[in-house]
């Protein structure tokens, strides 16, 4: 060793330990362990398959993979070439949901695989619960997808930023604690509140991942014939889904507080305007949003006034007759239940919404629509959604004019029997428009949340 190491490094060595080559009996034990690990791989454990490996195959791998110089590394290569790759090729010839029985045998010096379809389709084809048509295999696939999504979110940029903010707060708390000034950290109410919120989200995500991994394991046991209460599994999964949806929403809110408010305007003729507004009021109420509804009045009569800055006008325009300056068109926002007087016309309804991401829920609702009454009368309306609050709300122009709503691309047509939407490619057959629209918007909302969190 002195010929290979410099003196200053060699002199630091206290002793030399020589590792003895692995014994064949130890290599044989490693073979058993590796075979069990292969059976637990996701591509196998997640399928409805059983694998029976003959003892002669295990002995062969122990002998073929033994190398006194390279130890277990040579064994890994042998298992990969003789078992893993050929088995993968065989499995790829069958659909994922087909139940298989695999026998691994030794013929001469070749490892052979005999795959036969089991007559157990009744298990995978059974419905998981009397309340749904979902089969056991469909349920298992859905649980696996949810587990993968939960893992992806936990490893994604949104969750990483949350942990980073929590780490910064924790470091600040510990610095103050070292200086015996930790009380200053807790005296900042906003800071301490955020600290607890971030900790709760972190712990909730860890628990959610643990629960979905447990549900996935239970489903794999069910697929492999282990007696499991599939109805209870389905109920537990539904409970988990509901809690995880709220958890994902909370995470997006933490990163995008500006999306927790929304202004939704509905504009058009007063007749049927309130009926259309009630559709959105029902949807907002169902989601638990805080709602501030207002009417928008248009001043249809000319009025004379003296502007507040009349002195400035007078200085720069000494010949201006202030008395005849005409007031520009006025929009006045009034309480939702207020009755307009003769000088004003109701031209819109505006809803100020706040809560669990109302903008993401309604953001795709902007557009022109048609409302057909029971008498066959047709009226045109515009729906406009913005993440701005009332103070900065960019209200569409010309909403008091009838021709503003004429000749547009109408995305949705409401009738007393349902509605048809060209963008959603949807046609409903229920007079309860809010109920029919609710399911569509919920699905869109969940897809939007996933796009944020899954970095799609």
State pLDDT tens for residues 152-166: 999 999 999 999 999
268, 412 in Cβ contact below 8 A? no
- The arithmetic mean of pLDDT across residues 424-447, rounded, is 94
CA torsion 249-255-257-259 (nearest 10°) is -60
Burial 138-172 (b: 16+ CB within 10 A, else e): bbbbebbebbebbeebbebebbeebeeebeebeee
Among 23-32, 112-121, 445-454, whose mean pLDDT is lowest? 112-121
What CA–CA distance (Å, rounded) separates 453 from 251? 8
CATH class of 12-119: mainly alpha
Mean pLDDT (the chain) is: 85
What CA–CA distance (Å, rounded) separates 283 from 441? 9
Q: How confident is the model at residue 290 (pLDDT cuts 50, 70, 90)?
A: very high
Task: Give per-residue pLDDT as tens, 62-81.
Answer: 888 877 777 777 888 889 99
Q: Looking at beta carbons, which pairs linking 399-408 to residues 24 or more positions away fall under 8 Å? A: 399/267, 399/268, 399/296, 399/298, 399/347, 399/348, 400/298, 400/300, 400/329, 400/331, 400/345, 400/347, 402/269, 404/267, 405/267, 405/268, 405/368, 405/380, 405/381, 406/380, 408/368, 408/380, 408/382
Task: Give per-residue pLDDT as tens, 20-37.
Answer: 777 888 888 999 999 998
Model pLDDT, residue 343: 63
Nearest to residue 151, comparing CAs of 200, 208, 236?
208
Inform me whether the pLDDT recorded for 107 exceeds 70.
yes
What percent of the chain has a predicted confidence (pLDDT) above 90? 53
Give the three-state DSSP class for 238.
helix
Q: How confident is the model at residue 302 (pLDDT cuts 50, 70, 90)?
A: very low
Q: How confident is the model at residue 122 (pLDDT cuts 50, 70, 90)?
A: low
Choose the most confident range, by mean pLDDT, from 69-78, 290-299, 313-322: 290-299
CATH class of 258-453: alpha beta
Model pLDDT, residue 306: 39
What CA–CA distance (Å, rounded) separates 381 from 409? 11
136, 230 in Cβ contact below 8 A? yes
263, 350 in Cβ contact below 8 A? yes
150: which residues sit within 8 A by CB, 6+ positions away? 205, 208, 209, 212, 244
Say whether pTM exceeds 0.75: no
């Amino acid at each position: 060793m002195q010929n290979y190491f410099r003196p200053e490094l060699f002199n630091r060595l206290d002793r030399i330990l020589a590792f003895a080559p692995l014994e064949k009996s130890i290599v044989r034990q490693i073979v058993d362990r590796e075979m069990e690990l292969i059976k637990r791989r996701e591509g196998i454990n997640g399928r409805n398959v059983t694998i029976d490996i003959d003892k002669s195959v295990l002995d062969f791998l122990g002998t073929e993979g033994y190398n006194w110089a390279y130890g277990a590394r040579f064994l890994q290569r042998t298992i990969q070439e003789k078992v893993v790759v050929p088995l993968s090729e065989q499995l790829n010839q069958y659909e994922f949901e087909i139940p298989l029985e695999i026998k691994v045998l030794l013929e001469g010096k070749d490892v052979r695989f005999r795959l036969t379809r089991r007559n157990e389709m009744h298990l995978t084809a059974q419905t998981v619960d009397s309340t749904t048509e979902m089969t056991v295999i469909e349920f298992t696939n859905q649980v696996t997808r949810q587990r993968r999504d939960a893992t992806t979110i936990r490893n994604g940029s949104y969750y990483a930023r949350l942990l980073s903010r929590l780490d910064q707060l924790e470091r600040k708390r510990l610095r103050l604690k070292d200086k015996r000034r930790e009380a200053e950290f807790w005296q900042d109410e906003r800071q301490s509140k955020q600290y607890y919120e971030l900790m709760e989200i972190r712990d909730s995500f860890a628990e959610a991942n643990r629960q979905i991994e447990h549900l996935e394991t239970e489903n794999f046991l069910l697929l492999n014939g282990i007696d499991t209460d599939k109805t209870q599994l389905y109920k537990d999964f539904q409970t988990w889904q509901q809690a995880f949806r709220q958890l994902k929403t909370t995470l997006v809110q933490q990163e995008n507080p500006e999306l927790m408010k929304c202004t939704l305007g509905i504009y058009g003729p007063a007749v049927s305007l309130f009926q259309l507004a009630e559709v959105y009021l029902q949807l907002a109420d169902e989601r638990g949003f805080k709602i501030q509804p207002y009417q928008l009045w248009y001043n249809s009569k000319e009025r004379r006034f003296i502007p507040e800055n009349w002195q400035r006008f007078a200085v720069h325009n000494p010949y201006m007759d202030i008395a005849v300056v005409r007031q520009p068109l006025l929009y006045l926002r009034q309480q939702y239940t207020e009755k307009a007087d003769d000088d004003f016309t109701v031209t819109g309804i505006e809803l100020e919404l706040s809560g669990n991401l109302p903008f993401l829920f309604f953001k795709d609702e902007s557009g022109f629509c048609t409302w057909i009454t029971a008498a066959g009368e047709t009226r045109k309306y515009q729906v406009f959604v913005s993440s701005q609050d009332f103070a900065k709300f960019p209200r569409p122009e010309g909403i008091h004019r009838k021709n503003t709503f004429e000749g547009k691309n109408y995305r949705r047509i409401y009738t007393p029997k349902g509605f048809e939407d060209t963008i959603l490619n949807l046609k409903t057959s229920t007079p309860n428009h809010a109920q029919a629209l609710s399911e569509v918007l919920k699905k869109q909302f969940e897809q939007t949340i996933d796009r944020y969190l899954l970095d799609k």
